[in-house]
Amino acid sequence: FTSFLHLPGTSEEVAPPLQQSFMIPKKEINMVSDMAKWKRSQAYADYMGFILTLNEGVRGKKLTCEYKVSEPIEKLVALLNTLDRWIDETPPVDQPSRFGNKAFRTWYAKLDQEAEKLVATVIPKHLADTAPEVAVYLKESVGNSTRIDYGTGHEAAFAAFLCCLCKIGVLRVDDQMAIVFKVFNRYLEVMRKLQKTYRMEPAGSQGVWGLDDFQFLPFIWGSSQLIDHPNLEPRHFVDEKVVNENHKDFMFLECILFITEMKTGPFAEHSNQLWNISAVPSWSKVNQGLIRMYKAECLEKFPVIQHFKFGSLLPIQPVTS
């Protein structure tokens, strides 16, 4: 995997000066033919390397297990707690349409205004000039304020945000489990609250043919957590009792619980793809299949990637190796 995740445990004083100038990330994928540029880019290699490194890092581990929690991890959780508090301070407004509550725009405007300050709380002083670049990914990760929708492209922006924090050395290799179990899991909770509170629309939903209306990554990392589990098999996740008893330990089951809370009717009808996945014999097969599906259905789809932004940390330039 990419070298930035194998940074030695350098302390702040001796952190090497970053030999690059930072920039505000911008869109580079403007037409379908640009997709080839994305797949060859350093950004794609780093992003995918990051997703797969974390996939290995949480393999066979429960959400409730012991792991190191560094100061930057604590600060990221505090940042997400702030976003959560803002939801409480911005109740939905009365409006004729059921979906897409306009109060989301008020909530978003606050994030838009405060994002750089929030990011600055996580980044050490000597890296302060990276904040404007990194903050762009945070702003992109919570949904679209015009359409009041949320989807896998927004989720990818949050993973890109965390990837950037690894690239500048704020997060390190021994933070892997905390990145997924503490930070990403808290992010999911806040996104679910946004989706519920403001009745957000799924962005570019494929209806029942998509995996889920809103998320993808917790299914990948969540299936990795379940690899080699002594008694939970893929066929069990459609069993309500199993989900209720184990969801606090496994991200995948937490996702299933949320779907069943939000949707009515038979599981096989409202979540056809997941129903099919429950027939796969092993979690490692599920995990491999989901990684392939993620590349095909999210990362290689123009409607998703056209919104992705590229800067100095996640560059559009072709891989140099």
Asked if residue 164 and residue 241 are part of one domain, the reply reads no
Neighbours of 24 (CB within 10 A): 11
Structure tokens at 197: 């509170």
Asked if residue 165 and residue 237 are part of one domain, the reply reads no
Q: 150 or 11: whose pLDDT is higher?
A: 150
Asked if residue 184 and residue 50 are part of one domain, the reply reads yes
The answer to whether position 28 is within a domain reads no
Asked if residue 145 and residue 79 are part of one domain, the reply reads yes
Average pLDDT over residues 84-112: 97
Asked if residue 217 and residue 259 are part of one domain, the reply reads yes
Q: What is the pLDDT of residue 282?
A: 98
Asked if residue 197 and residue 84 are part of one domain, the reply reads yes
Asked if residue 197 and residue 139 are part of one domain, the reply reads yes
Question: Which strand (E) or helix (H) includes residue 136?
Answer: helix 131-140
Asked if residue 223 and residue 166 are part of one domain, the reply reads no
Q: What is the pLDDT of residue 205?
A: 60
The answer to whether position 21 is within a domain reads no
Asked if residue 155 and residue 47 are part of one domain, the reply reads yes
Neighbours of 88 (CB within 10 A): 9
Asked if residue 160 and residue 227 are part of one domain, the reply reads no
Got the DSSP string for 247-284?
Answer: TTT-HHHHHHHHHHHH--S-HHHHTHHHHHHTTSS-HH
Structure tokens at 267: 């599981």
Q: Please give the mean pLDDT across all residues of the chain.
A: 93
Q: What is the Rg, in whole angstroms, of the alpha carbon atoms belonging to the chain?
A: 19
Asked if residue 230 and residue 192 are part of one domain, the reply reads no
Task: For residue 308, report the phi and psi dihedrals to the nearest 5 degrees.
Answer: -70, 140
Average pLDDT over residues 93-103: 95
Asked if residue 142 and residue 89 are part of one domain, the reply reads yes
Query: Lowest-pLDDT range, 6-15, 47-56, 59-68, 80-89?
Result: 6-15
The answer to whether position 48 is within a domain reads yes
Q: What is the pLDDT of residue 11?
A: 41
Long-range Cβ pairs for the range 100-104 (8 Å, 24+): 100/147, 100/148, 100/149, 100/198, 100/199, 100/200, 100/201, 101/148, 101/197, 101/198, 101/199, 102/148, 103/197, 103/198, 104/143, 104/145, 104/148, 104/194, 104/198, 104/200
DSSP one-letter code for 317: S
pTM: 0.94
**Could you give the CA distance from residue 38 to residue 221 in angstroms, rounded to a whole number?**
23
Got the DSSP string for 181-234?
Answer: IIIIHHHHHHHHHHHHHTTPEETT--GGGSS-SS--HHHHHHHHHTTT-SS--G
Over the range 184-222, which residues count as b (16 or more CB within 10 Å of their CB) and which as e?
bbbbbebbbebbebbbbbbbeeeeeebbbbbbbbbbbbb
The answer to whether position 19 is within a domain reads no
The answer to whether position 274 is within a domain reads yes
Taking only the tens place, the pLDDT of each residue in 181-220 is: 999 999 999 999 999 999 999 997 665 567 899 999 999 9
Under the banding of pLDDT at 50, 70 and 90, the label for residue 19 is low
The answer to whether position 320 is within a domain reads no
The answer to whether position 12 is within a domain reads no
User: What domain range is 120 assigned to?
Assistant: 33-59+69-205+303-310
Domains: count for the chain: 2
Give residue for tokens 């989706």. 195
Under the banding of pLDDT at 50, 70 and 90, the label for residue 267 is very high
Taking only the tens place, the pLDDT of each residue in 4-17 is: 454 444 444 444 44
Percent of the chain exceeding pLDDT 70 equals 92
